[in-house]
Structure 1
Amino acid sequence: MATAALLADALADEAILSGPEAEKILGEVSARLRAGDIVPYLGPAVVGMSESAIPLAPEGLAEFFGKKVSLPRRARGNAWSAAQYIEGYKLRPTVVLFMTEAFSAPVKPAPLQAFLAGLNLPLIVDIWYDAAMRKALSDAESWGEVQGISRAGIGEDRWFRFYDASGGEAKAADAAGWKTLLYKPHGSVAPAKNYLISDADYVEVLTEIDIQTPIPDAVKDRRGDRGFLFIGCRFHDQMLRTYARQVSKRSAPPHYAVIEPDQELTLNEKRFFAAENIVPLAIPLACACEIIMA
């Protein structure tokens, strides 16, 4: 009965808030965000609000790979499978080369990123591979970054690396002194071209992510008594849902997700929102950003 009730809740359109009610709640969430009680979890649509020549979704990245090599049908449209095919037939350096080419175009931070950089937030999560959020933080008072890394060929028992504001590699202990920690769970083009992208990369991570080994302790410490605001994200892919679930694990729900009003949620997205206590707010992204920055 509990499972049936959960499914019914997940499918209920009235669970998606819209109009003035959604905007009012987002205003309240924004106040908590400014106070440091909400963690922003940024997807690629956020940086897409700035002029950019980079891929702005996993599907766009898959299309980029498809222009570089002839992909088999099973890998078309799926960035992780496409990267795995390239890694298998052209080796890992080619994947790194293609990813660096895809994300090396200069990207100006979006207004929301610049705004967040000025708040001295304890934790910012950014799941895309560009360096716009790092650039936005360049003038921040005290900050550093931790990135997920591929373990392919590094010969180390490590899941992530820390970097200071200058881009130099730092120690995990250094993070305790940073006011703001930027977490890039899938890696980034800057400062060191770390990419979690192929199926093989994720197989290793997903075998242990449920027990939180690949999640840095510094992230665990800063998320504990906070909620999350998912903005510019989609959760129509299992891997994206898994990461969001594990990054926000043992935090303080309810969480909130900004979705486009005309966005048709998949059944799995609805189930995910219901299971993880995420309140969907149907507000256009540009309008949501204005509310947050007001």
Structure 2
Amino acid sequence: MSALLADVSDLSFANAEDTLPRLADGLRAGQVVPYLGPQLLSSDNPDLPSTPEALAKFLESKVALPARARGNVWAAAQYIESTRHRATVTTLMAEAFSVPAKPSGLHRMLASLNLPLIVDSWYDGAMRSALQATQGWGEIQGITRAGIGEDQWYRFYDRSGEETEAAAAAGWKTILYKPNGGIVPARNFLITDADYVEVLTEIDIQTPIPDMVKDRRSDRGFVFLGCRFHDQLLRTYARQIMKRSTGPHYAILDPADTLTRNEVRFLAAQEIVPISASVDTAAEIMLEVA
């Protein structure tokens, strides 16, 4: 924990043993929205990229990148799109996530709770796979607007993976919201700088966020699981998706990670209470309660 606490003197950490059971109760009551990040994949899916940096490294292994694009997944994808066309980006992303993601115990627990809303910010299909054991849910995915000739920001998919309409989605008990798209069911990926420039011009007024997501977040808090906020884009998306929700908000942070100064400022500014625990430890405690 010392490495984590070295840069977080301005933050007050909640006690994991006391707070995580209460969070599990809040999830079970439908009052907490889980916001899932890529680090949920790390232990159960070693063959899949579980950080933006790992995904950037994968892209670099496939295409020679200039120095300015190395290590930054969005810049890397933008360079590939600019030099080799969008189809190459989609093909490489599909290859990176070609191994079907195995749901963890935490994924399965969340799936069993009939939650009104689950936000999944990474590209894998683990949460969708876990939800297959249940009924009455569907998915909303953010989409790239590159070359589609449509004035829309997202698409709706039912449990079987078929595209559907907003009218059908309104009746879902659980909405799985993937703002950055995902490998399944339709290989939608927001990944390039250009993708996000377009979204970020509108996201402050919330246009790219579906109305039913706004409705379901309004009287709830968020818990961030497997997330980091060391990149401005990650912080912007988290801030905009939790906007106008009532709170309280929590983030489960791995004690092995050292937070950046920007992460500390973000957590403080958004009044997100940090909990120092690995994802596996947090899942174990919450599963005992649930």
TM superposition score normalised by structure 1: 0.94
The answer for the alignment partner of 1:195 in structure 2 is 189
**Structure 2 Cα separation of the partners of residues 16 and 265 of structure 1:** 14
Match of 2:9 in 1: 13
Are 2:136 and 2:173, in contact at CA under 8 Å, matched by a contact in 1?
yes
2: CA distance, partners of 1:139 / 1:246: 30
Any idea what the Cα deviations from partners look like across 1:236-267, whole Å, max 9, x if unmatched? 00000000000100001220000012321111
**1:162-208 deviation digits (Å, cap 9, x = unpaired):** 00000000111212211100000000011111000000000000000
Question: Percent identity over the alignment?
Answer: 60
Report how far residue 14 of structure 1 moved: 5.9
Corresponding residue SS for 1:93: helix
Is 1:235 the equivalent of 2:229? yes
C-alpha contact 2:40 2:50 (8 A) present in aligned 1: no
Return the alpha-carbon distance in structure 2 between the equivalents of residues 52 and 275 of structure 1: 34
Other-structure match for 2:163: 169
Q: How far apart, CA to CA, are the structure 2 residues paired with 1:51 and 1:269?
A: 26
Provide the secondary structure at the position in 2 that maps to 1:13: coil
| 1:74 CA displacement | 0.5
CA displacement at 1:90 relative to structure 2: 0.1
Aligned residue for 2:44, secondary structure, equals: coil
Judging by fraction of residues, say which structure has more helix.
Answer: 1
Alignment match, 1:90: 84
Does 2:177 align with 1:183? Answer: yes
TM-score between both structures, scaled by the size of structure 2 = 0.95
Q: What CA distance in whole angstroms lies between the structure 1 residues aligned with 2:12 and 2:141?
A: 32
Letter in 1 for 2:165: K
Q: Distance in 2 between matches of 1:136 and 1:17?
A: 31
Say if 2:201 is the partner of 1:210.
no
The 2-side partners of 1:12 and 1:233 are apart by 17
Q: CA RMSD in A?
A: 1.1
Three-state SS of the structure 2 residue aligned to 1:100 is helix
Given that 1:146 and 1:162 are in contact with CA atoms closer than 8 Å, whether structure 2 keeps it comes out as yes
SS of 2:235's partner is helix
Q: How many residues align?
A: 282
For 1:249, the equivalent position in structure 2 comes to 243
- Please tell me whether the aligned partners of residues 52 and 107 of structure 1 are also in contact (alpha carbons under 8 angstroms): no
Amino acid at match of 1:249: K
Is 1:58 equivalent to 2:75 in the alignment? no
> 1:273 and 1:166 mapped to 2: Cα distance?
37
1:151 paired residue number:
145
